[in-house]
Structure 1
């Protein structure tokens, strides 16, 4: 017997460190070669670390949540006689050799699914609860799922008892979001009580949860709000909306006017159109607007590419097209990629104030609230005006109050000065 130490793997060419998101073994556990022993998260991938030896775990050299550089030992194994260390000590689950673990009666790890297993099951509408895993403790491996798919024996997900519909969340945009969200959530299960209804997580909801938790965990949020008099905008839009719809076949909502003003201000203040990159801030050349669009069960954020190159008509067409894709469940991964700044039209639900969570890894998100008539003072007289609140959340690592205030003031100025003379639709 000899003690061998396993090191933090390099899960990608540019990866320099990894985080132990979950240990799958404890000190004293017996493991076989290729048994998964830990889940590791990097900024690029989630992967299972398989054991390079058969033996007994003698020491865990890192705790869950610890981030270690590539090459630093993570655990020690008392290796059985005859075992020789392989040249490549650690491989991710995606490239792990296909040696199946011996059959075990223990099923304590059956419900611990890796990101790759979850993704593959989602893509093929497989109910993992109906599979028997060949991994340690009954854990379902990627090869278990691939075997079921290859043999055509695909257990469909059980229908929801409330709706009678499948609970599968397989969708191309969900896959894209799930792959982008590299951090896994580790939570303690809640206890069901009488009368409670379990609502299975769809792939989309799972991806949203991961990205939101990552945003709040990693980004120091700051928030502010301004009010804007949009009486001129309301009057202008009311004058032309019927003619526009008759001519173009699209509804002319307020949203394209807001997007136009925001995009113009982003061009003047490019720091608002940035992302945090660890040791630097990247000001994005493209101005592509991520637009929060609500569906029945989730919130999607498709992207208007190069929004600064579009007229108000072009923005109206883009908004209508993305909304239609959300309703028809036809968004593609391409529709979800490339956003540099997010706009959230919470006013469509009657909201007058909100604190949005930043769409990671962007630096800001702006909510457009409801347009409401309010009494305000104009030239020392009380007047009824159409007012709207603009609420913005910012990444305080990238932005501060000064530049954010100037940006909002410019958006306000542009919106309050909308008129037929200086606001062309085409």
Structure 2
């Protein structure tokens, strides 16, 4: 039986990859899940495992070739590896689905819907996320559950992930309790039988599943990878070269795990982490100084709570931002009279037609997109010794949630109208507060807007959201006396703050950007006429 090896999902907005390395050659015997080849995209390195045990019959896409999503990479002849599992995998080929069914920990199924245990596994957590913390169990041992009913919630350093039941049954064992740290693809619990006579699902054909972008690559073992031969020139992965340039590391400082000792992107991350942990003081620690001594009386009235992963990540990223960027803030103020008048005039008609309220954020988003076209360095980022200019605007909107600050991204905001922007802000804001945002929805931003005014902030200096080079801080609208045409009048004024990376944005560009935002808001007609 012939099995096709195809390009897996590469991630949002990624449509093609380059075949970097084949670990096997035609005629080689392979086991299920053994790594066949490695693909390089402009964002990540993706390893492609064998979907079944067998013999690599033909390599269709050679090293160096560009392939699209779901393109044919190679073909396997199943059942030729001598593995006992090969015939079983062939039998279950018919059962393969887009979303794999749950794995069983024991018992054979004859399709009658009875018997057997079903494992509840940690779902895919996303790119660069290898572990999570079990925050809440919604069910307890002995409870009957329906398929897709929520069993528990996991917390990563980026998002909260709800774990649904893979099938109907009874929760017989919880293996990871609240507070436990679990690895990607680890086992959380075990379901038994099928409750209420529900049909038990088929086994999950793990050997046929293609990992989505962000799955942790399998560890090379069994002699697949060997140390580089003395004097041999090994070409490192392109993504690893980029990562080494960013972190100031050389190849001899990184232990490669790829074929023949090839340095991979994850190897660079490990080396950088090791160097950081070896330093006397690390920038990743939320707190540096030792805690001051407290009296026994005061200690008895304190409450100690472990920081959530999200809060730890926020602390680390903010400190990293301060340590990496040459951050500077420039200020201005904007008279909100015209925007408020325009909003009051059309808000009812706007909501009636578009089904969403007209707020201030769409005005600021449009004004920033307008200004970013004139000052493109504020919408750029530094990559090693290169400046990457973005000819689009993926606008990050900082949103406060009960668990901390998150930044959902509105993609191609520069191409959206007021109604679409307001709808996107409302939808993503609600999902953020409910902890339902995916990591894809928080990645790829090119510029960020933060509105501290909703909490009453009069002025602040926002911190950059790396690798972005600019962030606009909005603040409270306050009536202040202003001189207008020689007369003192009370006007609704807002302070604006632009924090920027001075390595890439000069003072002139930063001030020009902020003035263009101010001009567009004080006379919104400029946005219509592209002035």
Normalising by the smaller structure, the TM-score range is 0.5 to 0.7
2:200 is aligned with 1:156: no
> Pairwise mapping of residues 245-324 of structure 1 onto structure 2 (< 5 A)?
245-324=351-430
Q: Distance in 2 between matches of 1:189 and 1:300?
A: 29
CA change 1:340–1:205 in 2 (3 A) is same
CA change 1:300–1:118 in 2 (3 A) is closer
> Secondary structure at 2:398's aligned position in 1?
strand
For 1:394, the equivalent position in structure 2 comes to: 500
Structure 1 residue 204, shift from structure 2 partner = 0.9
CA change 1:394–1:117 in 2 (3 A) is closer
Residue ranges of structure 2 left out of the alignment (5+ in a row): 1-19, 21-43, 46-126, 138-172, 181-214, 217-265, 277-282
For 1:341, the equivalent position in structure 2 comes to: 447
Query: Among 105, 118, 122, which residue is 2:133 paired with?
Result: 122
- Contact 2:333/2:494, CA 8 A, preserved across alignment: yes
Q: Distance in 2 between matches of 1:117 and 1:262?
A: 31
Pairwise CA RMSD: 3.4
> Pairwise mapping of residues 328-407 of structure 1 onto structure 2 (< 5 A)?
328-407=434-513
For 1:220, the equivalent position in structure 2 comes to: 326
- Superposed CA deviations along residues 285-328 of structure 1, whole A, max 9, x for unmatched, are 22111110001230110101011000111111111111111122
- Contact 2:396/2:445, CA 8 A, preserved across alignment: yes
Q: Distance in 1 between matches of 2:456 and 2:347?
A: 21
Aligned length: 271
Structure 1 residue 352, shift from structure 2 partner = 1.4
For 1:416, the equivalent position in structure 2 comes to: 522
For 1:241, the equivalent position in structure 2 comes to: 347
> Pairwise mapping of residues 86-235 of structure 1 onto structure 2 (< 5 A)?
119-122=130-133, 153-157=175-179, 185-186=284-285, 187=288, 190=291, 193-235=299-341
Structure 1 residue 349, shift from structure 2 partner = 1.1
More strand by share: 2
- Superposed CA deviations along residues 135-167 of structure 1, whole A, max 9, x for unmatched, are xxxxxxxxxxxxxxxx96223228xxxxxxxxx
Q: Distance in 1 between matches of 2:175 and 2:513?
A: 57
- Superposed CA deviations along residues 162-182 of structure 1, whole A, max 9, x for unmatched, are xxxxxxxxxxxxx99xx9997
CA change 1:276–1:379 in 2 (3 A) is same
Q: Distance in 2 between matches of 1:296 and 1:125?
A: 15
CA change 1:246–1:200 in 2 (3 A) is same
Structure 1 residue 330, shift from structure 2 partner = 0.7
- Superposed CA deviations along residues 246-275 of structure 1, whole A, max 9, x for unmatched, are 332211111101110111110121111011
Q: Distance in 2 between matches of 1:364 and 1:422?
A: 21
Q: Distance in 2 between matches of 1:359 and 1:224?
A: 16
Structure 1: 4+ residue segments shifted above 3 A: 116-119, 123-126, 179-184, 186-192, 421-424
- Superposed CA deviations along residues 4-30 of structure 1, whole A, max 9, x for unmatched, are xxxxxxxxxx9xxxxxxxxxxxxxxxx
- Contact 2:378/2:510, CA 8 A, preserved across alignment: yes
Structure-2-length-normalised TM-score? 0.47
For 2:262, the equivalent position in structure 1 comes to: none
> Secondary structure at 1:209's aligned position in 2?
helix
For 2:261, the equivalent position in structure 1 comes to: none
Q: Distance in 2 between matches of 1:117 and 1:154?
A: 22
Q: Distance in 2 between matches of 1:262 and 1:254?
A: 12
- Superposed CA deviations along residues 382-425 of structure 1, whole A, max 9, x for unmatched, are 12222111101111111121111111111111111125x9659x
